Amino acid sequence: MSKAMLIDTTRCIGCRGCQVACKSWHNLPGERTTFSETWSNPRHMNSNNYTRIIFREVAQPDGKLNWYFVKRQCMHCLDPACESVCPVGALTKLKDGPVVYDDDKCIGCRYCMMACPFQVPKFEWGKAVPLIRKCDFCADRIAIGLAPSCSTACPSQALVFGERGDLLKEAHRRIGAHPGKYYPEVYGEKIVGGTAKLYLTPVSFEALELDHRGFRTDLGNVPYGIYGREWMSKVPWVALGVGGLAVGLFYINKRRAEVQDQKSQEGKED
Amino acid sequence: MAENKEKWYPGEGKLTTGHAVLYIILVLGLISAIIRLFFGLGATTNLNDAYPWGLWISFDVLSGVALAAGGFTMAAAIYIFNLKKFEPLLRPAKLSAFIGYLVFVVGLFFDLGQPWRIWHPMVMWNPHSVLFEVSWCVMLYTTVLGIDILIMALERWKKYELVAIFRNLYLVLVVAGVMLSTLHQSSLGALFLLMPEKMSDLWASRAIGPLFFTSAVIGGMGVVILESLISSWAYNRKVELKLLSALSKGLGLALLVYFAMKVTDLYARGATVWAFDKPHFFFYLELFGTVALPAILLTFSEVRNSIKGLYWAAGLAAFGVVLNRFNVSLTSYGGYRDFSYFPSAIEIILTLALIAGGILIFDWGTRYLPVYQSELTGKTH
């Protein structure tokens, strides 16, 4: 069965323990951070930061500020666009859930970065011979029966690791049990064909204004890879059609030229 | 007229100012290329996580391949649609197509994060990937063009028995060339089928494959006309005006078809066509300035039968194809990204060097290979 993670943003306290745990498990370098107009730190996901908490302050009608913490990382789509587009098959969806990347295959074309509907794959721009980097759902930990490092580190059980089916049931149970507390949709249940990361939020993702921050709501429920695969399924027929037509016309032209030659020769004999 | 005046442009047997400029750009490009290889993409380009694809993809890859479509367009016109009168234009078209693909391959080499693994798609397959198909088609088609050039070289070396062997393959070469080109020219557009949400409405079309194919045919014909006009000027050859004006009729027709396709597509998708912002400016420039305008120009026989008219019409059409590739791969993302992108000096120099190198190889090729019919001993094929 496919593993997944239920991210209940109402439980998140914004401690960023998951960010630290991710860095330690993946041996990623720390970096000097600075204050800015947002509490989110670092400012962007990149090849050294596979996950980060987005801090959102949303003003309520009564003037009060509401805090929202939304964890961002690879969504581990059930049918990933990146896997579909990679020309050398460097990205693969494993049976138990993670979408993993093979360092030894990648040619660095960056098509996965262009195609990912969540803009997750990042490039090692600082290196002379760069590779793609992204959250791997701690595939090595899952393989030996451990939970991903971020969910192990989470102190408030905002990151629950488990079977996707079970977690979906749990998500809908929570929505049903606390009608005012949750927005009644699970982000990740259906979007782009479903993802392994399932989000519960108090308000909709539109209201959180995360469209430009990697959580689009207009992606539809069709896996993006389908568009490429549809095209590829037509390729052999186009090849046969064009090839056949070309050969056919070539021979018709040749025959016509021969007939003309013969006629003109016959004309001379007369 | 200009007999006593020294020429500045390539074409004469000796080194001209034009040659010198091209060689200087080439050397600068070589230095840029070495810097790029040693310091990496991040240090030498303005690419970033928001703009993973930049000038090298838009120009060297997408525009380069589209402008090199003249080879297969002319081969199809002559051998498949039986328009034998265009035969004198075939060999220069093939030479420029081969050079276009060389530019593409070299440009792609420097754009890849792992350039030394450029061969990986040969052995590591992902038949679901449009880019996988493109890489195979391009590899095979560049080989086909390479064989075409090899045949010219063999003729020059008078190895006629070898030429005869390759001549037997001729049908295979023509058909493979047309088939592979149809596939990858359209598939380069299909690469963008997966990112509708990131692109502006103006270019995010499900019909982008056929649109890319049609505009590549336009680019190919435009370049064949320009290339013929320019080499007549550079090598003091008589302009084949009758032939070029006949070809420009085809170009005009292709432009009309493309315009109709574009308009139908925009209408069917209900795209917001009328607005004032940067993407719309480039969109109007593309659709009206480089598709509609040359199409209208080419309806006048005065334009089709004058050198200046042909320069303008073919130039606009070819420029339009380049503009379209830039629009699809860069302008289109303007409203989506929070960042902007403008190529770095190294990106620009390397691209200019590829163009300079292309011109130098073409110049060399036309002087050492039997490219023009008047130089041929045998029959063109």
Domain ranges of chain A: 3-79+132-223, 226-270
Q: Which residue has the tokens 């990740």?
A: A188
Of B39, B121, B171, the CB nearest to A88: B121
Chain A 109-148, CB below 8 Å of chain B: which residues?
Answer: 109-111, 113-115, 117, 119, 122-131
Taking contacts as CB-CB distances below 8 angstroms, the residues of chain A near B190 are 228, 231
* Residue B91: exposure state from Cβ atoms within 10 A (0-12, 13-18, ≥19): buried
Q: Pick from B256, B46, B112: which is nearest to A88 by CA?
A: B112
Asked if A110's CB is within 8 angstroms of B76's CB, the reply is no
Chain A 28-47, CB below 8 Å of chain B: which residues?
Answer: 44-46
d(CA B362, CA B378): 22
Burial A173-194 (b: 16+ CB within 10 A, else e): ebbeeeeeebbebbbbbebbbb
CA angle A220, A14, A168 (to 5 degrees): 40
Strands, DSSP E only, in chain A? 3-8, 52-59, 65-72, 91-93, 99-101, 122-123, 132-133, 159-163, 197-200
The predicted structure's pLDDT at residue B4: 47
Nearest CA in chain B to A248: B80
User: Looking at the complex, does the CB of residue B270 fall below 8 Å from at least one CB of chain A?
Assistant: no
Quote the tokens at residue B236. 């003091």
d(CA A86, CA A99): 13
Taking contacts as CB-CB distances below 8 angstroms, the residues of chain A near B185 are none
Q: Are A193 and A164 contacting, i.e. CB atoms less than 8 angstroms apart? A: no
Helix A225-269 vs helix B170-190: angle between axes, to the nearest 10 degrees? 150
Q: Pick from A214, A170, A162: which is nearest to A192 by CA?
A: A214
The predicted structure's pLDDT at residue B379: 46
Looking at CA atoms only, how far is residue B126 from chain A in angstroms?
5
Blockwise average pLDDT, block size 10, chain B, 381 residues: 56 73 96 95 94 94 95 93 92 94 92 95 94 94 94 91 87 92 96 92 94 97 95 88 94 97 95 89 96 96 94 97 96 78 95 95 90 56 44
* Residue A260: exposure state from Cβ atoms within 10 A (0-12, 13-18, ≥19): exposed
* Residue B349: exposure state from Cβ atoms within 10 A (0-12, 13-18, ≥19): buried
The predicted structure's pLDDT at residue B118: 94
Q: Pick from B179, B194, B182: which is nearest to B131 by CA?
A: B194
Taking contacts as CB-CB distances below 8 angstroms, the residues of chain B near A225 are 128, 194
Q: Are A67 and A40 contacting, i.e. CB atoms less than 8 angstroms apart? A: no
Partnered with residue A52 across adjacent β-strands are: A72
Prediction ipTM score: 0.91
> Whole-prediction pTM value?
0.92
d(CA B73, CA B178): 8
Q: How many CB pairs under 8 A join A and B?
A: 171
DSSP B70-123: HHHHHHIIIIIS--GGGGGGHHHHHHHHHHHHHHHHHHHHHHSSSGGGTTHHHH
Q: Quick one: CA torsion of B10, B15, B16, B18, rounded to 10 degrees?
A: 60
Mean pLDDT of the region A177-199: 95
To test the contact with chain B by mutation, choose from A242, A251, A261 the residue with the greatest count of B C-beta atoms within 10 A, namely A242
Q: How far is CA B63 from the centre of its chain?
A: 5
Q: Pick from A108, A63, A98, A64: which is nearest to A78 by CA?
A: A98
CATH no. of A3-79+132-223: 3.30.70.20
The DSSP output letter for B10 is B
User: Looking at the complex, does the CB of residue B85 fall below 8 Å from at least one CB of chain A?
Assistant: no
Asked if A107's CB is within 8 angstroms of B121's CB, the reply is yes
Of A122, A128, A216, the CB nearest to B38: A128
The predicted structure's pLDDT at residue B86: 94
Taking contacts as CB-CB distances below 8 angstroms, the residues of chain B near A105 are 120, 124
Taking contacts as CB-CB distances below 8 angstroms, the residues of chain B near A45 are 49
Q: Pick the residue with more confidence: B179 or A59?
A: B179
C-alpha distances (whole Å) from B335 to each of A50, A212, B277, B331 are 25, 10, 10, 9
- What is the sign of the dihedral through the CA atoms of B5, B9, B10 and B11? negative
Q: Are B96 and B223 contacting, i.e. CB atoms less than 8 angstroms apart? A: yes
The predicted structure's pLDDT at residue B7: 67
Helix B17-39 vs helix B345-368: angle between axes, to the nearest 10 degrees? 130
* Residue B177: exposure state from Cβ atoms within 10 A (0-12, 13-18, ≥19): buried
Looking at CA atoms only, how far is residue B39 from chain A in angstroms?
5
The predicted structure's pLDDT at residue A160: 97
Quote the tokens at residue A34. 């600075």
CATH 1.20.1630.10 fits B26-369, yes or no: yes
- 3-class state of residue A59 by DSSP: strand
For residue A75, the one-letter residue type is M
d(CA A194, CA B296): 49
Asked if B40's CB is within 8 angstroms of A130's CB, the reply is yes
Nearest CA in chain B to A247: B175
Nearest CA in chain B to A82: B129
Asked if B129's CB is within 8 angstroms of A87's CB, the reply is yes
Taking contacts as CB-CB distances below 8 angstroms, the residues of chain A near B53 are 110, 114
The mean predicted confidence, pLDDT, of chain A is 93
